[in-house]
């Protein structure tokens, strides 16, 4: 199976390429706007890996992609906030399966309505949001859901290590909703929150507590639909160095008062200055998903799923779902044609080999509020 990875030498694209390069069932093509960088990265992988210059935003993208005759295209070239679906439509026109790592709420949540018809016509499958959120997060909730007679609340928090590698596109993505109004499902109705403001103390199993602030992610909209009866769905991000978290809160304050035209304009500056703070952080990161409701015995039940990742391996986690889905397609696994969001595409146990490869610990704790 020929797999083309758009943004294949980027922060996440490179990790996906490394994960797929040794698969005998995959012919890997690293694609990006800078051909020299693509070629240089390809030489660090297997001899069978190819590299091409390819810009998903160029007018000749469809033509140049069709020449490659891909079976699957993995789109990692973010930020996806504000990005349209032209690249995905071109991929459907070329008759390829599609996977993206999108974290933009509107991009992911509107994906199926916008692209189901062209991918069905092509007889191919397209998945959007194939990353930690909402693929892994949904797999965790699905795995624990059977322990509840009624599930009422889902709270998620991701806590990256300060020293873990980070890309400019990721920073631009998280700044795009800094100081903006985010609709959050609380008490069975939509409530407005301000992105990155008013951080709250979050507890983790294997790392010190941190302050986490509300961020705009697809889960906030997808999970109330996927899990009927849930009254609360919350997502927060908790940065390791508290000064950074306070800077984001300050940016949110300035944006609310229209002192900044767009917070994302600060991405290059913060990406550069962020390395100055690395000495105050570590390579230790984590994730927690808290579920509340009634047990099968109709008693109050609280479950926590914790993930702990060290040695700056945190950025491997958002890449796992794309690697696993690509490998399934290469093995000949079939999925219904059309476009869909990623929850339900993978089961939690399918992530276990990837967790083991990177020394990632997971555990479930019951009854800790």
CATH number of domain containing 168: 3.30.360.10
Radius of gyration of the CA atoms of the chain, in A? 20
Query: How far apart, in whole angstroms, are the C-alpha atoms of residue 14 and residue 171?
Result: 17
The pair of three-digit structure tokens given for residue 154, joined into one six-digit string? 């889902």
- Across 52-71, b (16+ Cβ under 10 Å) vs e yields bebbbeeeebeeebeebebb
Total domains in the chain come to 2
Q: What is the mean pLDDT of residues 139-164?
A: 96
Do 186 and 325 share a domain, yes or no? no
Q: Please give the residue range of the domain that contains residue 37.
A: 2-130+317-345
Q: What is the mean pLDDT of residues 257-261?
A: 83
Do 112 and 164 share a domain, yes or no? no
Q: What is the mean pLDDT of residues 263-285?
A: 80
Do 217 and 311 share a domain, yes or no? yes
* CATH, residue 50: 3.40.50.720
> If you average pLDDT over every residue of the chain, what do you get?
93
Task: Give pLDDT, residue 107.
Answer: 95
201-250 pLDDT per residue, tens: 999 999 999 999 999 999 999 999 999 999 999 999 999 988 888 888 98
Do 300 and 289 share a domain, yes or no? yes
Give percent of the chain above pLDDT 70: 99
Task: Give pLDDT, residue 48.
Answer: 85
Tell me the C-alpha to C-alpha distance, in Å, between residue 324 and each of 20, 50, 318.
Answer: 9, 21, 11
Query: How far apart, in whole angstroms, are the C-alpha atoms of residue 240 and residue 164?
Result: 11
Give the torsion through C-alpha atoms of 112, 115, 117, 123, to 10 deg. -100
Residue 365 parent element (H or E): strand 361-366
Do 168 and 279 share a domain, yes or no? yes
Do 107 and 234 share a domain, yes or no? no
Do 120 and 203 share a domain, yes or no? no
Considering only 179-188, 255-264, 293-302, 341-350, which range has the smallest mean pLDDT? Answer: 255-264
Query: How far apart, in whole angstroms, are the C-alpha atoms of residue 355 and residue 360?
Result: 5
pLDDT greater at residue 91 or residue 48: 91
Task: Give pLDDT, residue 369.
Answer: 47
Q: How confident is the model at residue 316 (pLDDT cuts 50, 70, 90)?
A: very high
Do 340 and 304 share a domain, yes or no? no
Do 124 and 148 share a domain, yes or no? no
Task: Give pLDDT, residue 264.
Answer: 75
Do 16 and 108 share a domain, yes or no? yes
Query: How far apart, in whole angstroms, are the C-alpha atoms of residue 277 and residue 243?
Result: 9
pTM (2 decimals)? 0.93
Do 145 and 275 share a domain, yes or no? yes
The residue to which tokens 């999925």 are assigned: 335
Residues in the chain: 369
Task: Give pLDDT, residue 167.
Answer: 67
Task: Give pLDDT, residue 368.
Answer: 54
Do 266 and 327 share a domain, yes or no? no
Considering only 58-67, 106-115, 169-178, 252-261, which range has the smallest mean pLDDT? Answer: 169-178
């Amino acid at each position: 199976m020929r797999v083309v990875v758009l943004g294949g030498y980027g922060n996440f694209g490179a990790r996906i390429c490394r994960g797929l390069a040794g698969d005998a069932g995959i012919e890997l093509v690293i694609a990006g706007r800078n051909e020299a960088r693509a070629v240089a990265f390809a030489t660090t992988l297997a001899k069978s890996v190819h590299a091409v210059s390819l810009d998903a935003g160029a007018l000749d993208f469809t033509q140049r992609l069709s020449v490659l005759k891909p079976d699957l295209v993995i789109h990692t070239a973010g930020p996806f906030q504000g990005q349209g679906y032209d690249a995905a439509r071109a991929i459907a026109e070329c008759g390829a399966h599609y996977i993206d790592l999108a974290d933009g709420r509107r991009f992911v949540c509107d994906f199926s309505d916008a692209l189901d018809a062209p991918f069905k016509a092509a007889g191919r499958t397209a998945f959007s949001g194939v990353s930690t959120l909402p693929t892994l997060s949904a797999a965790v909730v699905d795995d624990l859901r059977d322990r509840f007679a009624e599930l009422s609340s889902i709270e998620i928090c991701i806590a990256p290590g300060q020293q873990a590698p980070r890309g400019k596109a990721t920073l631009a993505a998280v700044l795009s909703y800094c100081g903006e109004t985010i609709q959050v499902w609380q008490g069975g109705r939509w409530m407005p929150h301000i992105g990155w403001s008013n951080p709250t103390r979050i507890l983790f199993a294997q790392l010190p507590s941190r302050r986490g602030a509300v961020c705009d992610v697809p889960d906030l909209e997808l999970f109330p639909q996927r899990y009927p009866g849930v009254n609360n769905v919350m997502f927060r991000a908790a940065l390791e160095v508290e000064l950074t978290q306070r800077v984001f809160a300050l940016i949110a304050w300035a944006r609310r008062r229209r002192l900044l035209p767009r917070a994302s304009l600060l991405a290059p500056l913060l990406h550069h200055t962020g390395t100055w703070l690395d000495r105050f952080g570590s390579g230790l990161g984590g994730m927690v998903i808290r579920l509340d409701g009634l047990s099968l015995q109709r008693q109050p039940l609280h479950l926590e799923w914790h993930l702990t990742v060290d040695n700056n391996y945190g950025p491997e986690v958002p890449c796992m779902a794309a690697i696993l889905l690509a490998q399934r397609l290469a093995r000949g696994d079939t999925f219904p044609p059309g476009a869909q969001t990623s929850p339900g595409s993978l089961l939690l146990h399918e992530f276990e080999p990837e967790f083991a490869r990177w020394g990632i610990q997971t555990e479930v704790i019951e009854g800790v509020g």
